[in-house]
Chains A and B, each alone.
Chain A
Amino acid sequence: MSDALRQTPELVTLTVNGSVHQVQLDSRTTLLDALRDHLELSGTKKGCDQGACGACTVLLDGKRIVSCLVLAAQCEGREVTTVEGVTVDGRPHAVQEAFCRHDALQCGYCTPGQVMSAISLLAEGRAGSDDEIREFMSGNLCRCGAYPNIVAAIREVAGQEATSR
């Protein structure tokens, strides 16, 4: 048997939604699997495990990434934010509320990833027009086809932010 198969678990320190966790992980464990299988944060979803669907989108140091393409061990010393960590004082994030109002979801499986991507998109200043929203949300697949409602939800939050600025 090759040495590559003899994986000894490593102790990894992860900071997720402001809390510090120490977990024993196989060094092959992705951030996505660490969240779902070791930290009981199953809000982040796996749609492909290949970086192609966006269901696993989280924020790493404030920027959106697909957590299936990052090893958990690479995240030591960095801030991970998941869908469980975006509520504000126990209240849903404005993006989450807008998704509910606009029915920007159906089965809901892509939704945590869409929400995280949308939050990041707004922070990136990429919600200037519907076309811009569509383009910069295109890394998040929705097989249920909620796209027009996702755009409407983000447009609304972007508008509110624009007026409150």
Chain B
Amino acid sequence: MTALDRVDAPLKVSGSAPYPSDFTLPDQVHAVLVQSTVAAGRISAIDTTAALAAPGVLAVITHENAPPLADLPMTPLGAPPRFPFKDDRIIHCGQHVAVVVAGTHEQAASAARLVQVSYETAKPVLDLDDPRAEVVDNGWGMEVDVGDAEAALSSAEITYEETFDIAPEANNPLGLFTTLASWDSDRLTVHDCSQWPIMTRQALATAFGLPESDVRVLVPYLGGGFGAGLRAWSHTLLAALAARVVGRPVKLVLTRPQMFTSVGHRARSRQRLRLGMTGAGRLVAIDQESTAALGAEEDNFSAVVLGTPHAYDCPNVATHDRQVRLNIPNPGFMRAPGHAEGNFALESALDELSYRVGIDPVELRLRNFAEVHPQSGLPWSSNALRECLQVGAERFGWRDRSPVPRSTRDGNWLVGYGMAGVTFGWYAAPCRARLSILASGTAVLKAAATDIGTGTYTIAAQQVAELLGLRVDQVRVEIGDSDLPPAPQSGGSGLAVALTGAIQVAAANLLRALLDEVAADARSPLRGRRLDEVTASDGRLHLIDDPAVGEKYADVLARHGLDELTADGELDLAAAAADAGVAPAGAFAARFAEVRVDEDLGLLRVTRLLSVVDGGRILNEKTARSQIIGGTVMGIGMAMFEEVAFDHATGRVANATFGDYLIPVNADVPDLDVVFVGGPDAFSPTGVKGLGEVGVVGVPAAIANAVYHATGRRIRSLPITIDQLM
């Protein structure tokens, strides 16, 4: 059961899973965006005459003629994205400046090239060190200051200080973000690439002054998001606006180049890390400061150093989180935001220190293992980091390596092993789920959650089947629709925990409702029974002690003349965490990498990569493993390939295509070994921990550390490129 094939796989392999761009509505027309070619200044003139006269064109919307929209609400992730059609100002290259709507996509695309925009340009702020840049200090209140890091550093036996640089990366989900918007008088329906239908609904309702109940956001399938679908980006609003203006459904599909500037990215970051250590390899001080890019006039919840304070046992910790506003498209969330970057610095530094103190890198992490949560002093709800490290070292053959850098060769290749420890964060948001048993005896689950490739459909169906004693094919899962009971985003590695927890509550409520139904039913063998006396299997509810005493759901519903029996379950884990007496834990992991570097050519290949992960209870080994290998591949991209090249003078993205911006291809990825350790988490009601992001974290450090072991070169900037290895 736990390695069940993904329930939506047959739809996906046959091309019949409907993504937002696959929907077509009668009378639908097409919108294409025109984007700014300068990074700062204002639009001095915008001439749409030629575009309006082009065949098939229905409207050209600009800041000059756009109907006004209300300001979007604050979100738990900060201020909403700036809406660009409010005025004539340009704050980044690629800012949307016009929407052309025409009968066909070809007509719209062709007319979009006829829109003439003139700019009064200003000198853009593009560099983290530009003195003109506005700096936001500790914008999220996530800085930590415990003990006295400064004093501990000055008295430490061994001190370390280095700087780490990470290039901006683009999420680049393969599915081009699409909005198909249609109005039915004052009701708005959008198919949208949202990882958070409830948030998108709220944004649209606010913008257009509608009650939320008159807005519906649909996303049954999403062609990936990796965090890009967590904001109400302006193209979504513009598609809805265009549909209102032309009075017909409008489909807007971003182009691949537009994906680089319209839906966020991993911010460029620079970190200064200082560590103090004893000669015996115990951390006595951590001081980590990050400076990350932010869009002008924008917010972005991304604290690079957020994972460090609880990664290891260390009495003196200070973190600093700075963001610098630049004339670039606003960054956003990209899988494991903050954690991926912060871990690269910390785990690279520990590797460096392992050589200085002469302690094996695995042993060094074990010596600094945090038995309890370092800041709260509370016991972890689960923490198998030690097991991750030990199992990993054993399985990888870590002890066979000669620790001396440049000591292992295979022909022209220098071979290196590297590893990293990973402590992910914990996150949970309130969730509701609605569970019904139908007259046929089958079940339906409804929640406004999404499956962005993570396996939500599958694990939800498995869990309902288990709790109600049904086969998985007797469970229908309905998600991806904002009309369903509110669920949190696919993001922050919090959905699986929240949703499975809410399903568990709903299932208990449903079975209780069933027992209430038969409480006075003389024909029911379950009359007068309590929830704790029964269990479900084979489509029937029966006594735990005497399985013969029970009856089928279908029989109860038929006898009572019910089409369905429904119950909701609600869970707010964040609220429960406050006085739980434990520190709720996210996932832990250890990564082990083997690389080969061609000394003459600087070629770098990853030849083995092992992930040992504590993800709590694993509901489905297949989809869980896929989450880890997927994150690992993205980590390989971060380590070796990915860099959004903002032109230093113009702020233009110089490599906004898949031909120029490299992501890992099949031939870049070796077989990936994944092992799960640990057991059910004690705080998560279902024992589950989130796995969506931890797969990325630690991969860059493990690879960089392996590169050092292979070559003796310490690389502290990502991506690691050939020129650094020659």
A residues whose Cβ falls under 8 Å from a Cβ of B: 1, 5-7, 26, 28-29, 33, 36-37, 40-50, 52-53, 55, 82-84, 87, 92, 96-97, 99-101, 103, 105-112, 115, 130-131, 133-135, 137-151
Contact = CB atoms under 8 A, between A and B. Distances in A.
A47 to B, nearest CB: 5
A77 B705 CA distance: 56
Contacts of B627: 106
Contacts of B332: none
A-side interface mostly: loop
A110 B8 CA distance: 14
A19 to B, nearest CB: 16
B452 interface: yes
Given A26-B106, A148-B629, A107 B173 contact: yes
Contacts of B53: 1
A148 B630 CA distance: 9
Contacts of B667: 131, 134-135, 137-138
B6 A50 contact: no
A141 B663 contact: yes
B-side interface mostly: loop
B103 to A, nearest CB: 10
Given A100-B6, A105-B13, A52 B104 contact: no
B253 interface: yes
Contacts of A44: 15
The 6 closest A-B pairs by CB, nearest first: A43-B15, A145-B633, A108-B12, A107-B453, A109-B223, A106-B453
B128 interface: no
Interface of B: 5-6, 8-19, 21-22, 24, 50, 53-55, 104-107, 110, 172-176, 221-224, 226, 253, 255-256, 452-455, 622-623, 625-627, 629-634, 657-659, 663-672
A103 B9 contact: yes
A49 B14 CA distance: 21
Nearest to B110: A5
26 contacts: A7-B55, A33-B105, A46-B21, A47-B223, A48-B657, A49-B256, A52-B256, A52-B658, A83-B13, A83-B15, A100-B5, A100-B6, A100-B13, A106-B455, A107-B173, A108-B8, A109-B19, A109-B173, A133-B666, A137-B666, A138-B666, A143-B226, A145-B630, A146-B630, A147-B633, A150-B666
A147 B622 contact: no
Contacts of A107: 173-175, 221-224, 452-453
A145 B634 contact: yes
A49 B176 CA distance: 10
A49 B255 contact: yes
Contacts of A130: 671
Contact of A148 (B623, B634, B672): B672
A40 B18 CA distance: 12
Contacts of B666: 133-135, 137-138, 140, 142, 147, 150-151
Contacts of A112: 13-15
Nearest to B451: A107
Contacts of B626: 103, 106, 144, 146, 149
Nearest to B458: A103
Max chain A C-beta neighbours (<10 A), residue from B107, B657, B667, B670: B667
Contacts of A111: 12-13, 15
Contacts of A137: 666-667
B9 A53 contact: no
Nearest to B625: A103
Nearest to A109: B223
B10 A92 contact: yes
Nearest to A115: B13
Contacts of A92: 10, 13-14
A98 B669 CA distance: 20
Nearest to B452: A107
B106 A143 contact: no
B491 to A, nearest CB: 14
Contacts of B13: 83, 92, 96-97, 99-100, 105, 108, 111-112, 115
A37 B21 CA distance: 10
B54 A84 contact: no
A49 to B, nearest CB: 7
A53 B55 CA distance: 31
Nearest to A101: B5
Given A108-B8, A109-B174, A145-B669, A50 B659 contact: yes
Contact of A42 (B15, B104, B175, B670): B15
A165 B188 CA distance: 57
Contacts of B256: 47-50, 52-53
Nearest to B23: A42
B454 A106 contact: yes
A106 B630 contact: yes
Contacts of A82: 15
Given A5-B110, A50-B659, A150-B666, A144 B453 contact: yes
Given A26-B107, A112-B13, 10 more contacts: A47-B256, A49-B256, A53-B658, A106-B454, A108-B12, A109-B174, A131-B667, A133-B666, A137-B666, A141-B658
A6 to B, nearest CB: 7
Given A28-B106, A47-B174, A144 B224 contact: yes
A42 B19 CA distance: 9
Max chain A C-beta neighbours (<10 A), residue from B6, B12, B671: B12
B174 A141 contact: yes
A131 to B, nearest CB: 8
Nearest to A42: B22
Contacts of B12: 105, 108, 111
Contacts of B54: 1, 5
Given A46-B21, A138-B666, A26 B625 contact: no
A101 to B, nearest CB: 6
Nearest to A102: B622
Contacts of B24: 37, 40, 42
Contacts of B454: 106
A133 to B, nearest CB: 8
B116 to A, nearest CB: 14
A26 B14 CA distance: 28
B570 to A, nearest CB: 28
A83 B222 contact: no
B175 A45 contact: yes
A111 B16 CA distance: 11
B174 A143 contact: yes
Contacts of B107: 7, 26
A144 B630 contact: yes
A103 B15 contact: no
B661 to A, nearest CB: 10
A141 B224 CA distance: 13
A36 B19 CA distance: 12
B229 to A, nearest CB: 11
Nearest to A111: B12
A43 B5 CA distance: 21
A15 B566 CA distance: 49
A47 B176 contact: yes
A1 B49 CA distance: 11
A41 B6 CA distance: 24
Given A109-B19, A146-B626, A100 B10 contact: yes
A115 to B, nearest CB: 6
A90 B15 CA distance: 14
B14 A83 contact: yes
Contact of B221 (A52, A87, A96, A108): A108
Contacts of A1: 50, 53-54
A41 B15 CA distance: 9
Nearest to A84: B15
Nearest to A154: B666
